[in-house]
């Protein structure tokens, strides 16, 4: 996905079911002269409808909203507005949520307990074409991926150590890792 034009104000949409969080985000965005809050919603279905209508540069979505999860909103929003960059803001620190968010097409995952400038950094990073993972969860996610890689590599080594009898020849058939695991 290409970077968004960063000389103009970035159009940001925000969805969270907690009014106090919404007020805080509005204040945070108002302080930043490069950001413009174009809309907001307090539940999933409204977030999806409004974000599709408004077509923001960046949509900041709470992971757990009534009516439709942030993951489901992200999936449908990305399908309807492929140029919209989706950032998930959440209290969930489990790497499984992060993995699900990234598989959906979200390009940022920010924890609510992070400093307020983390959200600004994340919005600008994804608008510039990058990906942003909250440092508090990125390490755990990488650790999990590393363990999965080592496990897959061990299984491949075991398979390669066993001779496989082919239909035409009695030759060992090497098993190779997919490119993404090499």
Q: What is the pLDDT along the chain (182 residues), one digit of tens a residue?
A: 555 554 689 999 999 999 999 899 889 888 899 999 999 999 999 999 999 999 999 999 999 999 999 999 999 999 999 999 999 999 998 888 888 998 999 999 999 988 778 899 999 999 999 999 998 887 766 665 555 556 666 666 555 555 454 444 444 545 555 555 55
Q: Considering the domain boundaries, does residue 142 fall inside one?
A: no
Q: Are 159 and 70 part of one and the same domain?
A: no
Does any domain span residue 141?
no
Specify if 5 maps to a domain.
no
Domain at 68, CATH number: 3.40.50.2300
Angstrom distances, CA of residue 24 to CA of 1, 35, 148: 30, 14, 38
Give dist(CA 126, CA 128) in Å, integer: 5
**Do residues 77 and 16 share a domain?**
yes
Q: Nearest Cα to 58, choosing from 13, 7, 109?
A: 13
Are 115 and 51 within one domain?
yes
pTM for the model stands at 0.74
Q: How many distinct structural domains can be found in the chain?
A: 2
Q: Please check whether residues 60 and 25 belong to one and the same domain.
A: yes
What is the distance in angstroms between the CA of the first residue and the CA of the last residue of the chain? 25
Examine the domain organization and report whether 90 and 163 are in the same domain.
no
Asked, for residue 24, whether it belongs to a domain, the answer is yes
Quote the domain boundaries for residue 99: 10-136
15 and 65 in a single domain? The answer is yes
């Amino acid at each position: 996905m290409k970077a968004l034009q960063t000389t103009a104000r970035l159009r940001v949409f925000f969805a969270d079911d907690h009014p106090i969080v919404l007020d805080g985000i509005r204040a945070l965005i108002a302080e930043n002269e490069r950001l413009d809050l174009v809309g907001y919603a307090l539940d999933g279905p409204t977030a999806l409808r409004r974000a599709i209508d408004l077509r923001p540069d960046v949509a900041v979505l709470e992971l757990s909203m009534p009516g439709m999860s942030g993951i489901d909103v992200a999936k449908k929003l990305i399908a309807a507005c492929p140029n919209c960059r989706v950032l998930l803001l959440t209290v969930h620190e489990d790497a499984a949520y992060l993995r699900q968010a990234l598989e959906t097409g979200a390009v940022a995952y920010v924890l609510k307990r992070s400093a307020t400038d983390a959200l600004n950094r994340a919005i600008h990073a994804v608008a510039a074409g990058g990906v942003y993972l909250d440092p508090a969860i990125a390490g755990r996610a990488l650790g999990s991926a590393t363990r999965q890689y080592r496990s897959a590599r061990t299984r491949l080594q075991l398979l390669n150590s066993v001779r496989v009898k082919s239909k035409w020849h009695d030759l060992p058939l090497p098993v190779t890792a997919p490119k993404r695991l090499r």
